[in-house]
């Protein structure tokens, strides 16, 4: 069943957590991030759940949305708002079966075929990348670049599919205007936010880029 989530429910800026996760999530929320994805690739279910519980407390304090990467059971247990599944992990449909219809579910995509499959499976948004080379991900899929997004967004438009597309993979603030013009809904970032010396200023700048460039969608 296609879960209809309003575009406005999917934030423009997604912070993908990096270790030490609770410290970095706290810093991101404190700087104004409103959407956090807890992404822990190694570790036992129990250890990931412990971090997820701490992340949920932080996100609740800042009224931020918490998405759990790859672990729908943990998302349900800690009361997170959603789940994000990687390309090789599980399908959006499988995650939906565990998490239920009220949860936001996103999936990673590298090709138009991936996006169409996620849309068919009832995804609420897709994380599409990588935009350029990034050190934060092993086994990188083929790099898309701006033209890759332009072609995909055009193809989705022709098929009349309006799923929020979140660009990911080494994106810098100055990349945002062209990506928004191409039709993407938001960006996901990890290193750019984790390593920022003035996180509050960066987050403000990122949101401003979207507000300044959001006229195309009205």
Token pair of 192 as six digits: 């750019």
Kindly provide the b/e burial profile for residues 139-153, where b requires at least 16 CB atoms within 10 angstroms of the residue's own CB: ebbeebeeebbbebb
Query: What is the domain extent for residue 171?
Result: 9-213
Q: Which two tokens stand for residue 139?
A: 């086994």
71 closest CA partner among 155, 62, 47 = 47
Asked whether residue 73 is assigned to any structural domain, the reply reads yes
Domain CATH for 159: 3.20.20.70
pLDDT in tens, the chain (218 residues): 344 555 679 999 999 999 999 999 999 999 999 999 999 999 999 999 999 999 999 999 999 999 999 999 999 999 999 999 998 889 999 999 999 999 999 999 999 999 999 999 999 999 999 999 887 777 778 999 999 999 999 999 999 999 999 999 999 999 999 999 999 999 999 999 999 999 999 999 999 999 876 554 43
pLDDT at 1: 35
Q: What is the 3-state secondary structure (H, E, C) of 117-159?
A: HHHHCCCCEEEECCCCCCCCCCCCCCCCHHHHHHHHHHHHHHC
In a domain? residue 160: yes
CA distance 211 to 42: 36
Q: Does the residue 2 lie in any domain?
A: no
- Nearest Cα to Cα of residue 187 among 200, 55, 203, 198: 203
User: Could you read off the pLDDT of 148-158 as tens digits, one per residue?
Assistant: 999 999 999 99
- Asked if residue 3 belongs to a domain, the reply is no
Measured CA to CA, the distance from residue 203 to residue 88 in angstroms comes to 30
In a domain, 34, yes or no: yes
Q: Are 96 and 3 in contact (CB under 8 A)?
A: yes
Number of structural domains found in the chain: 1
User: Is residue 40 in a domain?
Assistant: yes
- Calpha distance 12→90 (Å, rounded): 25
Q: Say which residues have a Cβ less than 8 Å from residue 16's Cβ, sequence separation at least 6.
A: 37, 39, 69, 136, 168, 188, 189, 190
Q: Answer yes or no: are the C-beta atoms of 129 and 107 closer than 8 Å.
A: no
SS3 2: coil
**Cis omega (within 30 of 0) on the bond before 20?**
yes
Question: How many whole angstroms separate alpha carbon 117 and alpha carbon 6?
Answer: 20
Q: Is residue 1 in some structural domain?
A: no
- Note whether residue 207 is domain-resident: yes
């Amino acid at each position: 069943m296609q879960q209809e989530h309003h575009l406005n429910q999917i934030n423009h800026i997604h912070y993908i957590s990096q270790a030490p996760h609770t410290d970095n999530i706290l810093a991101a929320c404190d700087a104004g991030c409103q959407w956090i994805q807890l992404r822990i690739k190694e570790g036992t279910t129990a250890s990931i759940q412990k971090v997820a519980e701490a992340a949920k407390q932080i996100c609740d304090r800042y009224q931020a949305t918490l998405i759990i990467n790859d672990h729908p059971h943990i998302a349900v247990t800690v009361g997170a708002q959603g789940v994000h599944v990687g390309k090789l992990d599980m399908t959006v449909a499988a995650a939906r079966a565990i998490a239920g219809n009220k949860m936001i579910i996103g999936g990673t995509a590298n090709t138009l075929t991936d996006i169409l499959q996620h849309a068919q499976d009832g995804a609420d948004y897709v994380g599409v990348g990588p935009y350029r080379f990034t050190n934060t991900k092993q086994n990188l899929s083929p790099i898309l670049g701006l033209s890759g997004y332009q072609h995909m967004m055009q193809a989705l438009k022709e098929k009349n599919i309006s799923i929020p597309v979140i660009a990911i993979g080494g994106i810098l603030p100055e990349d945002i205007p062209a990506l928004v013009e191409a039709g993407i809904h938001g960006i996901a970032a990890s290193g750019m936010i984790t390593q920022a010396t003035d996180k509050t200023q960066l987050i403000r700048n990122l949101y401003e880029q979207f507000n300044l460039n959001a006229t195309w969608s009205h």
